Structure 1
Amino acid sequence: MQNIDELIADFGGYIQDSPSSYHAASAGAARLERAGFTRLDEAEAWPTSAGRYLVIRDGALVAWVQPAVATATTGFRILGAHTDSPGFKLKPKPSIGSDGWLQAGVEVYGGPLLNSWLDRELELAGRLVLRDGTEHLVRTGPYLRIPQLAIHLDREANNGLALNRQRQTQPVYGVGDRSSADLVAHLAALAGVDAAEVAGYDILTADTQAPARFGQNGELFAAGRMDNLTSVWAGLHAIETLTADPEHIVMLAAFDHEELGSETRSGASGPLLAEITERISLGLGADAAERARAYAGSWCLSADAGHSVHPNYGEMHDPNVRPLAGSGPLLKINANQRYATDAHGAALFARACEAAGVQYQEFVSNNTVPCGSTIGPLTATRLGIRTVDVGVPLLSMHSARELCHVNDPIALSGAISAFFAGA
């Protein structure tokens, strides 16, 4: 295995290449194509032979390795993750302003920690779609900032900051007459297309500060969008370095829109995973009963960010289960199935971590602090595939800049590799 410095540099590079879900899918596809994967078009017939394949649907990426031994009843080993992160999304008629300042009209995307986005150099990134239906990725680099009100003008700011999502989260990007400003035209120029041909766009904000290692021994790692590019990167690294022909059909399913509830055509509640697994099974000659048998022999690791114990807010965590950054990936457990892990899933993850030579730790919420959910229960419900929820422990989840230990993403990737290999 590559050393930790190389792997963390690779992880940080992927984050920098992925300021939006569309970029994350594109950058992931590019590295998989370099590793020998073939990109397929959903509107075309697909090969039925063994090989390495991938599909992009909007901001989602699905890649799989179909072994030569695959039959109509061969099961799947799926790593589920998501490409999107909380932030802000550009509104229609986005060129706004007030009192001589040029501003971008945005709305909140998902559930970001709003205060963490203040006083940071942000970029706009995403896709432009022209009238002819062609799609163009674009990013501005450092371009905007949401300025905080000076404490001299709000002496109570340190006693509790509450931001009005409409009035106080619109970033500035210049000064002048807003009637002459055109954000869409600027984005079109960066993409090398005619602004008059832009018929639609999905443009989001991203923090532009580069990922960084720091701390006593350089063991801490900070970056934006680690929820959930950590899991996407870990899955990419595991599937692209898969050498032996697996006994299962190995798959990375990186969905979009998890931060919004996943109910889209490229989200985990949509048809994407079911359609792709069905097309693969049909290509192997499976009938309905044989597909059901394949699903019965399948597993999904749902990998999403989790919480490390916070040293300043220890009372918010379970008093007895205290996962710590640097102590391995999390096995996420919830009695109400907000996470899909059950006893069989716990045993599977234990085997994978043992085979990879990495330790893992359990996570469960404090009973007075309801946990979020993941794509795990959605996958289990839609396809009936046994699913286990795992992830890397973070601090500052949903902040513009999150924190992990450098060992944990690498350990997760190792566990995924063992899972793909059949542990």
Structure 2
Amino acid sequence: MDDLRISGELLDFIGESPSMFHTAHNLSQRLEAAGFTRLRESEGWRLEPGRSYYVLRNNSSTLAFRIGEEVDARSCHFQICASHGDSPSFKVKSVGELAGPGGYLRLNVEAYGGGIDGSWLDRPLSLAGRVLVREGSRVVSRLFAPDRDLLLIPSVAIHMNRDVNKGMAFNRQVDLCPLLSAGELKRGALDALIADDLGVSPEQVLGRDLFLTNRQPGLVWGAEREFVSSPKLDDLQCAFVSLEALLASENPRTVSVLACFDNEEVGSGTKQGALSTFLRDVLLRVCLGLGGGNEDYLRAQARSFMVSCDNAHAVHPNHPELTDDENHAWLNQGIVVKEAANQAYTTDAFSRSLFAAICADAGVPVQAFANRSDSAGGSTLGNLSNMQMSMHAVDMGLPQLAMHSSFETAGVRDTAWALQALAAFYGTNVQIDEADAVTLG
């Protein structure tokens, strides 16, 4: 594969996805261009084998599926790649302006997810998300992402904080309020700015879900062009490769599913998160749409497999001691399968072996990751989605540095490795016999 070309396409995808709402819109446009038909949860569905469809929930989570030509209700099973479209940031509060001191106008924000706070300072920022606008008798949702930098969170000068290089603990109520104006703008300017961008009056702006966004373009860099750096690699790198793998593969004997959930960074416990009924609701309706019933759905679920796709930590060049001595990952050496004894990841011996066999057949190198036994690790969406729809699943990701920074780094080869692995997964007919055996057709 052309690693540099794929990295360029990844960066284009991320640049078009400054918020989770834009990610869902971006996915929708690319799916429609590939022939997928949109379905609405509030309407009746007519499904046909050989056709492709997608569904949105809250305009921030996306489920797409392709029904194989040979699939019927009795033979149905699902092969799913699940990622998330949100990233750590700061959300503007409902009363979003802070006037003063002096003529300053700042924004009042709160943390969304567990980000590296210091990475947001001293860089131009903007806003992105959705705005609810009154249009006569209707209230409609509009995307908002102005093509300019509007904000900056300034550091305190070292002359005023001599201990800054000894470590800085930020007070999010005090230290992380972005500066909007030095005096030219007054209270009310935020909604006026939004309204002007959307071509409406400020009075029409009724609500907003807006987040700080880093508009610094991603890039491939290094003397040998080994690295790719960008905002939101976690987890838009996995969302991108899942989409491209789905579009590049064909499998007449399964229902191939892409899930890109919102709110993973804050626990997934929303109507559009991985812990919601979204996946279960859609896949149940697929079984019903193929002429099956609840029994067929439960049988399909037992035969199904999920790849939970969320990035993994690479060994840090300055702090290798932070990772396990043996279960660790390196940039540009292949995808990562993540495992944890506390079940924070879905991987077990059965799912690892199944996925490793597919990757081996596809010629994709696989690395193993586990947390140090004396430190707590993170979790992701796979085990949460399994609380609503139980199936065999494996957690995989791409190795990266500076996870949850406003600007993250990965290896250029690994995006191509992941695309190759997930396309092979979608293209393989995975036939599961409980936890006894699996046949890869």
TM-score of the pair, normalised by structure 1: 0.97
**Kept after mapping to 2: 8 A contact 1:17/1:27:** yes
Query: Of residues 100, 110, 113 in structure 2, which corresponds to 1:107?
Result: 110
Q: Which amino acid in structure 1 is aligned with residue 84 of structure 2?
A: H
**Kept after mapping to 2: 8 A contact 1:82/1:257:** yes
Query: Of residues 194, 197, 202 in structure 2, which corresponds to 1:190?
Result: 197
Q: Secondary structure in 2 aligned to 1:151?
A: coil
Q: Which amino acid in structure 2 is aligned with residue 55 of structure 1?
A: V
Q: Secondary structure in 1 aligned to 2:239?
A: helix
Q: Secondary structure in 1 aligned to 2:27?
A: helix
Query: Of residues 102, 115, 139 in structure 2, which corresponds to 1:133?
Result: 139
Per-residue displacement from partner, 1:49-107 (whole Å, max 9, x unpaired)? 12111112121111110112111131000001000000100111212232222211111
| 1:72 corresponding residue in structure 2 | 73
| 1:172 corresponding residue in structure 2 | 179
| 2:64 corresponding residue in structure 1 | 63
How far does residue 4 in structure 1 lie from its aligned partner after superposition? 2.0
**Kept after mapping to 2: 8 A contact 1:96/1:178:** no
**Kept after mapping to 2: 8 A contact 1:113/1:399:** yes
Mapping 1:33-44, distance limit 5 Å? 33-44=32-43
Greater mean alpha carbon deviation, residues 170-179 or residues 135-144:
170-179
Query: Of residues 162, 167, 175 in structure 1, which corresponds to 2:169?
Result: 162
Aligned-partner Cα distance in 2 for 1:180–1:245: 56
| 2:412 corresponding residue in structure 1 | 406
Aligned-partner Cα distance in 1 for 2:152–2:5: 32
**Kept after mapping to 2: 8 A contact 1:97/1:178:** no
How far does residue 182 in structure 1 lie from its aligned partner after superposition? 1.8
- When residues 49 and 94 of structure 1 are mapped into structure 2, their CA distance, relative to the original with a 3 A threshold, is same
Mapping 1:153-302, distance limit 5 Å? 153-176=160-183, 179-242=186-249, 244-302=250-308
Aligned-partner Cα distance in 2 for 1:310–1:346: 25
Aligned-partner Cα distance in 1 for 2:181–2:70: 60
Aligned-partner Cα distance in 1 for 2:139–2:83: 28
**Kept after mapping to 2: 8 A contact 1:128/1:135:** yes
What percentage of residue pairs aligned between the two structures are identical?
A: 36
| 1:83 corresponding residue in structure 2 | 85
Per-residue displacement from partner, 1:386-417 (whole Å, max 9, x unpaired)? 11100011100000001100111221111111
How far does residue 177 in structure 1 lie from its aligned partner after superposition? 6.1
| 2:53 corresponding residue in structure 1 | 53
Aligned-partner Cα distance in 2 for 1:193–1:386: 49
| 1:324 corresponding residue in structure 2 | 330
Q: Which amino acid in structure 2 is aligned with residue 102 of structure 1?
A: L
**Kept after mapping to 2: 8 A contact 1:84/1:258:** yes
Q: Secondary structure in 2 aligned to 1:168?
A: coil
Q: Which runs of 5+ in 2 are unaligned?
A: 429-439
**Kept after mapping to 2: 8 A contact 1:102/1:181:** no
Question: What is the root-mean-square deviation in Å for CA atoms of aligned residues?
Answer: 1.3
Greater mean alpha carbon deviation, residues 127-136 or residues 336-345:
127-136
Per-residue displacement from partner, 1:213-264 (whole Å, max 9, x unpaired)? 111201101000111001100111111222x343110010000000010000
Q: Secondary structure in 2 aligned to 1:54?
A: strand
Mapping 1:308-347, distance limit 5 Å? 308-347=314-353
| 1:96 corresponding residue in structure 2 | 98
Q: How many residues align?
A: 421
Aligned-partner Cα distance in 1 for 2:124–2:70: 51
Q: Which amino acid in structure 2 is aligned with residue 14 of structure 1?
A: F
Q: Which amino acid in structure 2 is aligned with residue 128 of structure 1?
A: V
Aligned-partner Cα distance in 1 for 2:154–2:386: 43
Aligned-partner Cα distance in 2 for 1:233–1:301: 14
Q: Which amino acid in structure 2 is aligned with residue 228 of structure 1?
A: D
1:386 matched to 2:392? The reply is: yes
Aligned-partner Cα distance in 2 for 1:69–1:195: 54
Aligned-partner Cα distance in 2 for 1:270–1:49: 26
Q: Which amino acid in structure 1 is aligned with residue 361 of structure 2?
A: A
**Kept after mapping to 2: 8 A contact 1:379/1:385:** no
Greater mean alpha carbon deviation, residues 379-388 or residues 369-378:
379-388
- When residues 370 and 246 of structure 1 are mapped into structure 2, their CA distance, relative to the original with a 3 A threshold, is farther
- When residues 121 and 179 of structure 1 are mapped into structure 2, their CA distance, relative to the original with a 3 A threshold, is closer
Query: Of residues 112, 115, 119 in structure 2, which corresponds to 1:116?
Result: 119
